[in-house]
Amino acid sequence: MDLNLLTVASTSTAIAERATTATQLAEGFYKKIEAEDGDVHAYLTLAKERALAQAARIDALAVKGDPLPPLAGVPVAVKDVMVTRGVRSTAGSKILGNYIPPYDATAVARLEEAGAVILGKTNCDEFAMGSSNENSAYGPVRNPRDKSCVPGGSSGGSAACVAAGTAVAALGSDTGGSIRQPAAFCGVVGLMPTYGRVSRYGLIAFASSLDHIGPLTKTVKDSALILRVIAGRDPLDSTSAEVPVPNYLEQIEKPVQGLRIGIPKEYFAEGLDPEVRAAVETAIARLEEAGCKAVPISLPHTRYAVPTYYLVATAEASSNLARFDGVRYAYRSKAARSLSQMYRNSRDEGFGAEVKRRIMLGTYALSAGYYDAYYLKAQKVRTLLTRDFENAFQSVDAIVTPTTPTPAFKLGEKADDPLAMYLADIYTVTADLVGIPGISVPCGRSKSGLPIGVQILGRHFDEATILRLGHAVEHSLA
């Protein structure tokens, strides 16, 4: 069995039909990780004991002939910003280098309840702050499609392991594009659900009003299968929504004929790589051939999205990361001789440069005399961005844009230019600010062979429509 070709759907079918066992698959993936992940560095921690115990439970059900859960035996990786009981969870940071959580994130627990086998934890930008996966305290991830390039961030490890075939699927988190951008760079499918659709309980917080959990997969169908499992109200997360979860698998097979897709002029302006533009326009043309109607639209406040995001996100990060003080858990400096010095040294030694930069930006934006000028103004612009999308969705069913302005860039290319790095998220941050769902689907390759992704955005809690359109793109370009 070729592990590179396995999908969520084909894996569960193979186990149900006894073509293989969950244990054989898990052991096969660990051999593949050992042989191939050294160059990619997608994994930080493996959970072999836990994975094989779960695989044995699935095999016992199969032997008895009992009904199998929907993700029975599917090998899945989890971004290291989600806590896992008894398995090291670092958030890509030195400050959590030895943290062993006593509980599971809700999304992880739901995956296991559905039969998934958790292989391990994937590398990521520290506390999910980055667009290249070069900010990890444990070294960068390399793009499996071209190891001289970044895989995108911050869910670079999750995207890379799916692209490399060292996991069938993975969970990532998206605060400003951290699922969709690496999906585009690595040539996989990345789905960010509506804010509130998937519980954030157990997600190590970056920016609480922006953080989302979602799947990275090889196909749109696989994303639909995983979302169905992890979505739904969770009493442990007050921001999770009491909204029914549809059967996405039934929805994606419906024809797209008659759907109106908005094409925002602001996303096709200066700065968009010509090869990316051509690939996305081809995807739009295929949707039109399938019966969709392309409608020109405007999202006029888009130009303010990046500065708005980097005020809101850093302010929330400043607040959330205050808990890492060296007192209760995590890293504590051994050089301190007083309490205040222990605070300073622990944070200085434990946090990386990008995390420090964002904490300082956020603290400044929230400080006395600057709150109204920066943070409050950013929240007002966030409202204007929300109105832009509400107005657009009165006339269209979904919005189609590039996921990224360029294909994957070289490792180190933007490491010394934070502003250039931040602009890599220019097409993705708006959806996080507004809270709508978005998906990135592969739609072509550059002349040098690097993947290109098309982004589809939908109304709140209308993941079904963007999955349906993504499925149509996927099949029209196959």
Tens of pLDDT, residues 139-155: 999 999 999 999 999 99
161, 77 in Cβ contact below 8 A? yes
CATH 3.90.1300.10 domain locations along the chain = 3-252, 260-306+374-476
CATH of domain 260-306+374-476: 3.90.1300.10
Q: Which pLDDT score, from 0 to 100, does residue 65 have?
A: 87
- Span 358-377, mean pLDDT? 93
Tens of pLDDT, residues 85-141: 999 999 999 999 999 999 999 999 999 999 999 999 999 999 999 999 999 999 999
Tens of pLDDT, residues 290-340: 999 999 999 999 999 999 999 999 999 999 999 999 988 789 999 888 999
Dist. CA 213–CA 192, nearest whole Å: 7
Q: How confident is the model at residue 368 (pLDDT cuts 50, 70, 90)?
A: confident
Beta-strand relationship, 189-192 and 212-217 = antiparallel
Is residue 242's pLDDT more than 80? yes
Question: Which residues fall within 8 angstroms of residue 263, CB to CB, at 6 or more apart?
Answer: 284, 294, 295, 296, 297, 399, 400, 401
Q: Which pLDDT score, from 0 to 100, does residue 74 have?
A: 98
- Span 222-249, mean pLDDT? 97
90, 99 in Cβ contact below 8 A? yes
132, 152 in Cβ contact below 8 A? yes
Is residue 419's pLDDT more than 90? no
Buried b (16+ CB within 10 A) or exposed e, 213-227: bbbbbbbbbbbbbbb
Q: Which pLDDT score, from 0 to 100, does residue 293 have?
A: 98
Provide the token pair at 292. Answer: 């969709």
Is residue 190's pLDDT more than 80? yes
Q: How confident is the model at residue 10 (pLDDT cuts 50, 70, 90)?
A: very high
Is residue 478's pLDDT more than 80? no
Is residue 422's pLDDT more than 90? no
Q: How confident is the model at residue 166 (pLDDT cuts 50, 70, 90)?
A: very high
Is residue 215's pLDDT more than 90? yes
Q: How confident is the model at residue 174 (pLDDT cuts 50, 70, 90)?
A: very high
382, 120 in Cβ contact below 8 A? no
Catalytic amino acids? 79, 154, 178
Q: Which pLDDT score, from 0 to 100, does residue 417 have?
A: 86
Is residue 202's pLDDT more than 80? yes
Q: Please, what is the average pLDDT of the chain? A: 96
pTM to 2 decimal places? 0.97
Q: Which pLDDT score, from 0 to 100, does residue 335 have?
A: 84
Say how many C-beta atoms besides its own lie within 10 A of residue 64's C-beta.
Answer: 7
| H helix runs in 154-241, sequence order | 156-164, 180-186, 220-230
CA 345 to each of CA 90, 137, 336: distance values in angstroms, whole numbers, following the listed order? 19, 17, 7
Q: Which pLDDT score, from 0 to 100, does residue 112 have?
A: 98
**Domain at 3-252, CATH class:** alpha beta
Q: Which pLDDT score, from 0 to 100, does residue 329 have?
A: 79
Tens of pLDDT, residues 55-85: 999 999 999 988 999 999 999 999 999 999 9
Dist. CA 170–CA 158, nearest whole Å: 5
Report the share of the chain in percent with pLDDT over 70.
100
Q: Which pLDDT score, from 0 to 100, does residue 298 have?
A: 98
- Span 271-296, mean pLDDT? 97
Is residue 279's pLDDT more than 80? yes
Provide the token pair at 206. Answer: 């970056």
Dist. CA 51–CA 57, nearest whole Å: 10
